[in-house]
């Protein structure tokens, strides 16, 4: 099967060092938080051109809530990072889950059109019943 | 795990005294009431700046319905109160449930963007079958 | 528990005499009819001021369909009637069910904002399997 | 129970002769086709005034797909036909099912307001497992 | 049963040779990708006139993701191809499934009105548990 | 020329007594005020059926501004008044001009559809240069 | 210059007899009335297929206002009349001007797409200063 | 002429001390700046209840541009100030003109509905040709 | 001044032979016709990739009206023509003016985004008073 | 007059070196081109945080048209440039005018909200009759 990208491009940005996402102690249980970030931008690892999109993070907090100022710093760090759409969404999910250990979490990325084609990526996490 | 807020900020506004929410005797059963309040405003306990948003209360009444005028007074009392988004929504849920003891209740808060990031919080309550 | 309304206000309009809703013999079974009435208006029993809203009736007819002209006359009769939102929706449900004995029925009322607060009420009916 | 329509009006248009709906051999299975016709018009059997609406046909084809040109001719034939909303939607469902024998089918009619009241009718068909 | 199309028209375009859709190695599992192409155009095999529409591809990748540049070339190849709406959607589904062997996939085509009638076609694929 | 209305209907409501519109002393000059009242309702003098619409008042105040509470009382008084659309708009213009003697004023009425026909009426006033 | 229509088609419908439009005595001067009729339909004189559109009549009345019920009857008479878009709009302008002799008048027709092409026609009339 | 407000209410908030609006040296000439503030809130001097609205400032700068952070502090100071809509808009215009001495300036306030009535106020300033 | 296009590309498509646009004899004077074609497509002469857009033709007819079927054939001929946006709009204006010799004419082209950039081109024609 | 910005910040980015904007020879005269770039981003010289917005360039070309690919490269160069909104819009106008010497040109920048305040800047250029 031919593939349009090199192996290096396929994993670009996945192990880049990014700022920590801080948290604060959650005071309630059993509710949902949704955060929308319409000003996401990163760089295409193939063309070097910027990509633009909206990131939505939806989660049920357990002991911790995401602190929005550090989340903003974390998102800003993608600005000059070369990384594919699919990897952006999955890496944000991983980093959010590590930071606040939620009961469940969903990350959606809606990206603006390129060549008449637009993309939407959705990834989800569910804490296993035996703990995380 | 580092947290971006002090412990005091994390619980700010949770035990502030707020006006009682009055009720009136419900005449029917098994139906749903949704109340939308697009003019909610409170104060960020960290920065002292005002927050703005829309609060939606959706509930199935049991013996009592929320009286709208006292609900308005209750909501107005958040105007100069320092309290986080997540705590606003959960506290409104608690106070509404205490006031009218509904069969079930859901409170949603949609807050306007700060630093290019907007939030939506959703909390729910279900009366246990053995009574409340 | 204090209540913001008198007992008399709480039941206002519930036993007012209203025009009959006529029907016509349904020719088919197992389908759904939705009727939207965006020009509903009644009077607040507390303040005497007019209320405005949209009423939606959704039902699965059994032997009879609602005749729209008489339904319109029925709805017009609320124009100068003092009655609360919650009671409007539940009474319309009762009267529609009595008139056409549907398999199931749902009535929704969306009312315009008062004091920055808007309301939506939803009531439902399901014919019991042992007949109506 | 008084009824607002005569028996003749209640069945008007149900046995009118309408053009055949042609079909063509379906090449695939297990997918869905939705057809929207926003320019539907017929005549009210009671007042003789024209009615306007949008018809939506949604079906899973079995051996045959609806041919759009003949479907258009079929729909045009309602232009001067006296028939109630409810009967329009149910008759179209019957005729479509007879023409293409689909696995399942749904017909929705959304009609423009009359006297401040608008209607939406929805009828569905599901092929029984023992054949059609 | 009369049919409005010849047998040849009914299968037009189904075995035309189209460009390969390239892929790249997926780095994550259990998430969804949605691609929207609002600039789809092909040709009606009966009239020779162009058709226009939007194609949406939604899939859960397994080992491979669709490479967008080659997908664009694949879609461009329909520009002068005579093929019916229903066959467009089902063929795209087949070709996408063959290219990236996804866990599940859905293709939707929304086509612009012809003679006051517009169409939407939806086809789905689910990998069987015993492999593809 | 035949006319569809009697002379009495043509002038209905024009000399009915309505509440005074109060004013308060304007503190600035050379600016514009626009007031929108989406809950207007009156009665058709021919059919006795209610009419619904939105009234917009746009004026440049001179010495006085319209007081909104008394304006609301004034508008409520149309609720059970028989009067045609065209006369509603022109009479409101007259009464507003008499109350606050503005530099200029415009009244627009947008009325909901009747029999598939909707109306919009616009009347204007300009203070003559030789005083009011 | 070749022309796609016969001479007879070009004038079709222009001298058909249509119902009179009634009027009633206008009570004010110097204001504007706009009437929107979204349910206009006529027939294409070339293909015999129905056309659909919205007609907007905007005029400043002099001695007479258009009576809406007779205007509706007048518009209904186009339902089975063969006439081109351009002629529809210009003829309605002529007939409205003859009926109510307005100070000025504008008629706009917005017609639904045919073959992916939609049309909007606008014609205007201004009473000459030397009288009508 | 009776007036619904006391003299004191009519001028409430007009001479309250508010924060200075800072400026920075404009680098260009002959262009326009528009600033939209959808989170404006003040207090009604009659009822003590909060008002909500959107303020739009549109100006052509001369030597100075408005500094946005201090403008935000200035607007926040209305939060607990008793002042009427009309005075809000005119006072903001005065204070903006004093701060940045623009070539021209326009301030618009759109306020949310109260009692089914919403208001929009617009005030403008033009530097006289003989200098400011 | 460097230019990004070759001379040949800059004039590509300007002298291609296209179908004639037919006309029919106009029956009225002094009115306006607007035609919207949302399904325009041509080819970029530099990249060979398809462009998509909407073309709007607005004109005041003199002796002739554009015949829509031949206009459609004319527009279809751009489908495989290499030509820039700016030249598309200006050439359509030239060809329409030659075909129907209107009193005045305007052509607008709105093209879909390429690389995050979208374009709108507008060209106009006015018959000189001494004839065309 | 205090100013919230240092002199250095006020001119930041104004003399940064940016890529040339290429042109191609215009083939027509007297028409307008509008280009919309919704993916503009730069950096605030005070806070170092990114700004986001939409840039619209509207011009009447004289001898040259802007080449879109080089315009895109020019716009991309703002991505990591510290510069205020007002200066962004005025500098783009200057650079576009230098590149293609248009008859007239307008540049508009709409920037996303910061602290609940959003901005729109508009600058215009008109070639003087005695040449540029």
Provide the 3-class DSSP secondary structure of residue F33: strand
pLDDT tens-digit profile of F10-34?
899 999 999 999 999 999 999 999 9
Supply the DSSP string of C65-129, one letter for each residue.
EE-HHHHHHHHHTTTT-B--HHHHHHHHHHHHHHHH--SEEEEEEEEEEETTEEEEEEEEEE--T
pLDDT tens-digit profile of D98-117?
999 999 999 999 999 998 99
* Chains A+I touching (3+ CB pairs under 8 Å): yes
Whole-number Å distance between alpha carbons of J127 and C54: 56
Of D27, D31, D72, the CB nearest to E115: D72
Residues of chain B neighbouring C113 (CB-CB closer than 8 A): 38
Which two structure tokens, joined as six digits, stand for C91? 């009474």
Of J38, J41, J112, the CB nearest to A41: J41
pLDDT tens-digit profile of I13-55?
999 999 999 999 999 999 999 999 999 999 999 999 999 999 9
Contact C52 H112 (CB under 8 A): no
D39: closest chain E residue by CA: E116
Instruction: Let me know if residue B3 belongs to a domain.
Output: no
The residue count for chain I: 132
Placement of tokens 């300033």 in the chain? H125
Q: What's the gap in Å between the CA of B106 and the closest CA on chain J?
A: 28
For E94, residues 6+ apart whose C-beta sits below 8 A from its C-beta are none
Interface B-J: count of C-beta contacts within 8 A? 11
Beta bridge partners of D52: D41
Instruction: Let me know if residue H5 belongs to a domain.
Output: no
Residue F62 falls in the annotated catalytic set: no
Instruction: Let me know if residue G40 belongs to a domain.
Output: yes
Task: Note whether J61 and J34 are within 8 A (CB).
Answer: no
CATH of the domain at I39: 3.30.1130.10
What tens-digit pLDDT sequence spans chain B (132 residues)?
455 677 888 899 999 999 999 999 999 999 999 999 999 999 999 999 999 999 999 999 999 999 999 999 999 999 999 999 999 999 999 999 999 999 999 999 999 999 889 999 999 999 986 544
Q: Assign D5 a pLDDT band (cuts: 50, 70, 90).
A: confident
pLDDT tens-digit profile of H22-80?
999 999 999 999 999 999 999 999 999 999 999 999 999 999 999 999 999 999 999 99
Instruction: Let me know if residue H15 belongs to a domain.
Output: no
**What was the pLDDT predicted at E129?**
63
Q: Is the pLDDT of residue E1 over 60?
A: no
Interface A-E: count of C-beta contacts within 8 A? 79
pLDDT tens-digit profile of F103-122?
999 999 999 999 889 999 99
Helix, strand, coil abundance in chain I, percent, nearest 5: 25, 40, 35
Instruction: Let me know if residue G4 belongs to a domain.
Output: no
Task: Using the Cα atoms of residue H107, residue H108, residue H111 and residue H117 in order, give the sign of their dihedral.
Answer: positive
Burial of I36 (0-12, 13-18, 19+ CB in 10 A): middle
Instruction: Let me know if residue B55 belongs to a domain.
Output: yes
Name chain C's partners: 3 or more CB pairs within 8 A.
Answer: B, D, F, H
Contact B39 H79 (CB under 8 A): no
pLDDT tens-digit profile of E59-103?
999 999 999 999 999 999 999 999 999 999 999 999 999 999 999
Q: Assign J85 a pLDDT band (cuts: 50, 70, 90).
A: very high
Range of the domain at H111: 21-126
The pTM (predicted TM-score) of the whole model is: 0.93
Active site residues of I: 44, 51
Tell me the C-alpha to C-alpha distance, in Å, between residue G34 and each of F34, F46, F111, G65, G97.
21, 21, 10, 11, 14
Placement of tokens 């990526």 in the chain? A121
Tell me the C-alpha to C-alpha distance, in Å, between residue E78 and each of C90, E81, E83, I81, J52.
56, 5, 8, 17, 37
Contact I38 E112 (CB under 8 A): yes
Domain count across chain G: 1
Angle ∠(E104,E108,E112) on CA atoms, nearest 5: 175
Residue E99: DSSP 8-state? H
Task: Note whether D33 and D61 are within 8 A (CB).
Answer: yes
On whether ipTM exceeds 0.95, the answer is no
Instruction: Let me know if residue D9 belongs to a domain.
Output: no
Residue D15 falls in the annotated catalytic set: no
Catalytic residue among F22, F23, F44, F95: F44
Q: Kindly list the averaged pLDDT for each block of 10 residues, start to end, along chain A of length 132.
A: 69 95 95 97 94 97 95 96 96 98 98 93 88 42
**What was the pLDDT predicted at C129?**
63
Task: Note whether I60 and G39 are within 8 A (CB).
Answer: no
* Chains J+F touching (3+ CB pairs under 8 Å): no
* Chains D+J touching (3+ CB pairs under 8 Å): no
**Residue (of B62, B129, B53, B72) closest to B98 by Cα position:** B62
Instruction: Let me know if residue I1 belongs to a domain.
Output: no
Q: Is the pLDDT of residue C25 over 80?
A: yes
- Say how many C-beta atoms besides its own lie within 10 A of residue E97's C-beta: 17
Q: Assign G9 a pLDDT band (cuts: 50, 70, 90).
A: confident
pLDDT tens-digit profile of C2-16?
556 778 888 999 999
pLDDT tens-digit profile of G100-123?
999 999 999 999 999 889 999 999
User: How far does CA F79 lie from the centroid of its chain?
Assistant: 13
Residue F22: DSSP 8-state? P
Catalytic residue among B23, B44, B62, B95: B44
Whole-number Å distance between alpha carbons of C25 and C45: 37
**Residue (of G104, A79, H72, E121) closest to D28 by Cα position:** E121
What dihedral do alpha carbons H73, H74, H80, H84 form, nearest 10°?
A: -150
For B81, residues 6+ apart whose C-beta sits below 8 A from its C-beta are B13, B16, B42, B43
Of A38, A49, A76, the CB nearest to J50: A76
């Amino acid at each position: 099967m031919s593939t349009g990208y090199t192996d290096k491009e396929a994993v670009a940005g996945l192990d880049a060092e990014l700022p920590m996402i801080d948290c604060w102690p959650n005071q309630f249980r059993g509710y949902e938080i949704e955060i929308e970030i319409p000003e996401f931008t990163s760089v295409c690892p193939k063309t070097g051109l910027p990509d633009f999109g909206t990131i939505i993070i939806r989660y049920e907090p357990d002991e911790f809530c995401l602190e929005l100022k550090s989340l903003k710093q974390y998102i800003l760090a993608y600005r000059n990072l070369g990384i594919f759409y699919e990897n952006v969404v999955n890496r944000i999910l991983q980093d959010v889950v590590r930071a606040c250990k939620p009961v469940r979490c969903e990350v959606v990325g809606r990206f603006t059109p390129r060549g008449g084609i637009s993309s939407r990526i959705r990834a989800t996490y569910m804490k296993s019943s035996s703990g995380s």
